[in-house]
Amino acid sequence: MKDVVPRACRRAGLAKRGTAHTLRHSFASHLVMRGVTLVAVKELMGHADIQTTMRYAHLAPGVSREAVRMLDPGSRMAPVWHREQQEEKSPGNPGAFEEREKGFEPSTLALARRCSTAELFPHWTTQACYQPPPPGVKHEGECGVPARACLDAAHCPCSSGEPHTVHVRRAQIVLSAALALLFGCGGDSGNNGGGGSATISGTVVDDIGQPVAGRIVLIGPSSATTDASGAFTITGVVTPYDLIVIAPAPTKFASIYTQLTRTDPKVPDLSVSDSLPLVATVKGNLSGGAPFPTAPDVLTVVTWGSPEQAFGGDYVTTSSYSFDVGWNGPATITGTVHALQWKIDDNSTVTEYVSHGAKSGVSLSNAATVSGTDLSLTAPTVDTVSVTASPPPDHEIFARNVVLTFDDGTFIQVSGDGLDGGTLQVPVPSSIGAKALVQFRSVSSDGSMESDAQLTGLSPGTAGAPLSMPQPARLTSPANNATGVDTNTDLVWTPVGSAFHVLFLAGTANDPGYGIVSGGSRVRIPDLSSHGLGLPSNHGYDAILVAYGPYESLDAFAATGVLPKEGTDFRTVSFTGFTTR
């Protein structure tokens, strides 16, 4: 049995190499994602301790993965495409396209994500065999880490009747991305904002920085509604102030930003994902490089790169290619089409680069097809990059990803293994203008915390670059599975230095959700009952605490309202839960 699965993967042409252990992980992952209780999964898997089963808790629909993704543009970045993971284009939805993400994937804990024939490289797609998705890929799949949809699945209560170490439930939620509870120099929420002399002229955006109209914005007793450009103005504000964005019905979600001081904040409505309404098709032919059909260990990707938030690309198995590019912005964009061929080993670690070609100055217009984008592939010269990562105590590295980045905005993930080694050395092309983004991901032994970190802009030849993975922020009060939580309860956590924090609070089907963004370590849930978002009584809530950095303050993030396209240098995630009073 040891050799049967790897051979089957090779024969099927899968980019990832699976093992019998991969199928075991996949089995457990699918059960949890379909709402089977952790207690039942424990028995089926033969785990001696529920703590072992808890590593799959993050896959439960109620974890609100989309909430985390909202602030993770990196989760859209590296367009690495896997043949078996491409989304199907629907005749009724010509704008649908396959994307691969870059940077961090939708941040849910994930040992289980490492495998499953339908869940590799999630955050927009899933993969088959032992690997989590590259940060930033769009996918509506259900297992693994459904690319962007990874965090916006439907949920229903997980009724095992027994308390779990990590509070997990399924709740019908559409959290495009929530943030953490309050900001403030270590402390409580800021002034309600009223009765001052400051004028706040800000903008509400989605997760890629596009303006969002029709949002109610609250600062203290004053309110405003965003116009077509996402802009709003509120006068008479005392700083620091708390700013709340109310999502329009039927969505029941509030995005709360605490202790802001800047007068021109840009903040995302965490209840919305980006929309990519503009789509064009790119077609062409490849010449040179490895002839088609290629050997099973050779991958060929053709992808798009441009300064805009535009996504598109595909794995190809013939010399002709066609893929869609989606974007939000100007009607016409100009970028570069790249094609890359490389080899991977049985662990999906890159071993060699076969060929590369690129064509710049390609212009795309909405609904248009650009043909004749032919590329001539030649062998690049190659050097190496090596990184040594140090995970937090009691954490195991479970994923090591390598993404090639280009100045023109192109990202191509070339390596993504599930090995736990702290030192990674891989080849990197040195003659095509590429640099390397190397990311390590680790999970705690009980599965309740994840720490991810990455180094970007690594030049070929970089040796022994150190990467420190921070101890995750963790909610310390109220205790996990506590009861009696209300709007007067202080929510306190151990913060990560040089970071802002995002606390996602997700209840069951019709409960309001909250995303409270904070630069501090203590917040309270605001009373929004007058807006139909009052905290329900005696209801269970998942608390997902995420830290992003480095950022000097929440004001620094509010300068743009979006994370870097390649993702942040580090991100941590932890899971707890409580029941309201």
Task: List Cβ neighbours of 581 (8 Å cut-off, separation of 6 or more).
Answer: 483, 484, 485, 486, 537, 538
Q: What's the full length of the chain, in residues?
A: 581
- Retrieve residue 360's tokens: 């710049």
Count of other CB atoms within 10 angstroms of residue 61: 24
Per DSSP (E only), the strands in 276-394 are 278-288, 298-305, 310-315, 320-327, 332-344, 350-365, 369-370, 375-377, 382-390
Please report where in the chains the tokens 């039942």 appear, as a residue.
40
pLDDT number for residue 177: 32
Question: 447 with 49: CB under 8 angstroms?
Answer: no
Q: Report pLDDT digits (tens) over 306-353.
A: 988 788 999 999 999 999 999 988 999 999 999 999 999 999 999 999
pLDDT number for residue 219: 98
Q: Report pLDDT digits (tens) over 380-432.
A: 999 999 999 999 999 999 999 999 999 999 999 999 998 999 999 999 999 99
pLDDT number for residue 12: 62
pLDDT number for residue 15: 52
Tell me the C-alpha distance between 557 and 547, whole Å. 12
CA atoms within 13 A on the CB side of 434: 32
pLDDT number for residue 2: 52
C-alpha distances (whole Å) from 265 to each of 200, 210, 232, 309 are: 8, 14, 10, 21
Tell me the torsion sign for CA atoms 205, 474, 541, 539: negative
**Residue 57 backbone dihedrals phi, psi, to 5 degrees:** -60, -35
pLDDT number for residue 310: 84
Angle at the Cα of 573 (from 572 to 577), degrees rounded to 5? 150
Please report where in the chains the tokens 């965003």 appear, as a residue.
226
pLDDT number for residue 31: 73
pLDDT number for residue 308: 81
Question: 183 with 548: CB under 8 angstroms?
Answer: no
Element (H, E) at 8: helix 4-12
Question: 37 with 160: CB under 8 angstroms?
Answer: yes
Q: Which CATH class is domain 194-269+476-532?
A: mainly beta
Domain range list for the chain:
4-150, 194-269+476-532, 278-377, 382-468
- Could you state, in chain order, the average pLDDT of each consecutive group of 10 residues for the chain (581 residues)? 61 59 72 61 64 54 48 45 32 31 28 25 24 31 25 24 28 27 35 78 92 96 97 97 96 96 96 83 98 95 90 93 92 96 94 98 97 98 98 95 95 92 97 97 92 97 98 97 97 97 91 96 97 96 95 97 91 95 96
Per DSSP (E only), the strands in 445-489 are 449-458, 465-468, 474-477, 482-485
Tell me the C-alpha distance between 131 and 22, whole Å. 9
- Retrieve residue 164's tokens: 């779990």
Asked whether this chain's domains 194-269+476-532 and 278-377 adopt the same fold, the reply is: yes
User: What is the per-residue burial (b if ≥16 Cβ within 10 Å, else e) of 76-104?
Assistant: bbbbbbbbbbbbeeeeeeebbbbbbbbbb
Angle between helices 20-33 and 4-12 (to 10 degrees): 80
Q: Report pLDDT digits (tens) over 72-116.
A: 544 444 333 333 333 333 223 333 323 323 333 322 222 222 222
Task: List Cβ neighbours of 520 (8 Å cut-off, separation of 6 or more).
Answer: 182, 183, 184, 185, 186, 187, 258, 259, 495, 501
pLDDT number for residue 57: 53
pLDDT number for residue 579: 96
- Domain 382-468 grouped into CATH 1.10.3470: no
Question: 138 with 99: CB under 8 angstroms?
Answer: yes
Question: 438 with 454: CB under 8 angstroms?
Answer: yes
| CATH fit for domain 278-377, picks 2.60.40, 1.10.10, 1.25.40, 3.30.2010 | 2.60.40
Tell me the C-alpha distance between 245 and 240, whole Å. 17
Q: Please state whether the peptide bond connecting residue 512 to the residue before it is cis, i.e. omega within 30 degrees of 0.
A: no
Tell me the C-alpha distance between 535 and 137, whole Å. 33
Tell me the C-alpha distance between 69 and 67, whole Å. 5
Question: 359 with 341: CB under 8 angstroms?
Answer: no
Question: 405 with 457: CB under 8 angstroms?
Answer: yes
C-alpha 526 chain-centroid distance:
26
Angle at the Cα of 85 (from 391 to 125), degrees rounded to 5? 50
Question: 469 with 451: CB under 8 angstroms?
Answer: yes
Angle at the Cα of 557 (from 474 to 504), degrees rounded to 5? 35
Q: Tell me if residue 315 falls in helix, strand or coil.
A: strand
